[in-house]
Structure 1
Amino acid sequence: MLYQPALAVDRRTTTVGSRRELCARLLAVAAVAFAGVFVVYLLAVRTRWGPGFEDSALAGARQHRGGTWYGDADRWLNRITAESFALSLAVIAAVGLVRRRRLLALCGVLTAAGAVVGARLLKGALPGRPQLGPAGGAAHAASQAPNTLPSGHTAAAMGLFFAALIVVSRRWYVPVTLLALPGAAVSGAATVAAHWHRLSDAVAADLLALAVGLAGLAAVAQLGLVLPTRSRVRSRLGPRLMYIFLVCVATAALAVGAAFTLRYHGAATVPARDEAAYWAAQSYAVGAAVACAGAMLAVCRRLESAGRWPARGLTILDP
């Protein structure tokens, strides 16, 4: 992420206090993202309307089991295995080592791994879904299932994308986003389409991956390896246009989800209601993933390398 070849050397004095200030800001944003995981849990699990909406979305997904998207979603999720995840981590680490940024490579690897481990820990820590409504029925069986929030597959996919952003050079932001984000963003929607997870599981996983990625950047900032970018570096057009594009995509997806939610509340029949809930969940899953990716990109493009090793007093900045 934060580095590119040094064309010139600019010496700037950076104090321990400035590093702590940047670290504190990153940790604050990470804390907000992490708190969002619990907000999603409370809204989706502990409210009257949340479980009903997600049950309807799952029922709508069952209506589409004969469609091509169901099969594609299931095949895509089956590709996110321990072996493919480990191979992706090895590639990310190799990129960092080739660029001679060992600590940055370590930060990227820990970001992706931390998202997966955090998802597993939260699944065991959060209470299961309460029993709602009369016994019987597929929706009721789903509501009695053990806690599945957050989704491990979605956390793995988004964690790998954030790790790639952390490790690659700024000039590679746009290609990496165009190549890696579609698969990461679709993973959350795929878990709903393939009937693997609920919408809240995917959204919580996106927020968890974002929180872990920001916490990793905070650790690197505390070491003095990154600083806020200078104005002339910040003016690069590619990442800025990519950020604007992600904001537009996220806004459009969330707006479509809101429109289907209105249709869900106004549906006259149960099949129509389930269909609207399903497409609302698909749109919300994509919108949440792209929004988290945009937030991470916005942070990354405002940081730059301050050297390859922890700084002590005087810092050398890469332009």
Structure 2
Amino acid sequence: MMEPKEILLAEPRGFCAGVDRAIEIVERALLKFGAPIYVRHEIVHNTYVVNDLKARGAIFIEDLAEVPAGATLVFSAHGVSQAVQEEAKRRGFSIFDATCPLVTKVHVEVAKLAKEGYEFLMIGHKGHPEVEGTMGQLLDGIYLVEDEADVHTVQPRQSEKLAVVTQTTLSVDDAASILAAIRQRFPQIREPKQQDICYATQNRQDAVKQLAGQVDVLIVVGSPTSSNSNRLRELAERLGTPAFMVDSPEELQPQWFAQATRVGLTAGASAPEVLVQGVIARIQALGAASVRKMDGLEETIKFPLPKGLKLEPLSISKSKK
């Protein structure tokens, strides 16, 4: 049986600016207001992160009826519908919105164009909280297309004023082929000035494209619910490289590495680096002697925190650790 000799680390990988910001919002809310802090939906789609925040006093809920009056509520990074926002205000919660600013940009675009009489096609996955949040910006006039087949059957009420928006965590290639089908059927469709798929999703997919041809197997660190992590695994497989997704180092199977001398490793945008390091240690225990980081883009984007949470306690608490 061959042993893995080298681990090749994708760059960039792991946390993006939107995830960093969302987690920090919950951490700061816990520091400032004390436990419990209620969070609608998992703050980001990662089991380790969610369990860590639960241990510190965050309570994750789906239904606002579970939140007591006067409590502090955080909206997850995926964004929420207008109905959820209005219900939260009506119930009188103290609200902090951790929606990723790149998702908010899509919401703002939808609201602006709807006022101008536009209807929308949304490229995305049914049931994903981000899709529910974006489609929930309007009462009607927004239609989900999950694949090219949907493009041929969708029936907007009119096509003169039709715009397209996209879930931010899709496969860049899948979205491009669906968009091509949309352009063909609705040539006058209005597209966003900058594509909606976020920079982090794009960068992590580009890194996998670069990595896949150089390794015998690719491991993606990410939770099953994480859209962008699933897309990384699918992309590697499409490029002909066996790929597996793990939520923790314990899920690694030795037989995956039976024919591998070089192992590629990446992480979805909601997966923390501590899990990546754990996976590295486990692969090293199977025989990998060296770890090499690929050359890649360095991401320097940072998103500001909401008003009311920009305070010093977090940096103080960090220095005490």
Q: How does the TM-score come out when normalised to structure 1?
A: 0.25
User: Between Structure 1 and Structure 2, which shows a larger proportion of strand residues?
Assistant: 2
If asked which structure has higher relative contact order (CA below 8 Å, sep 6+), I would say 1
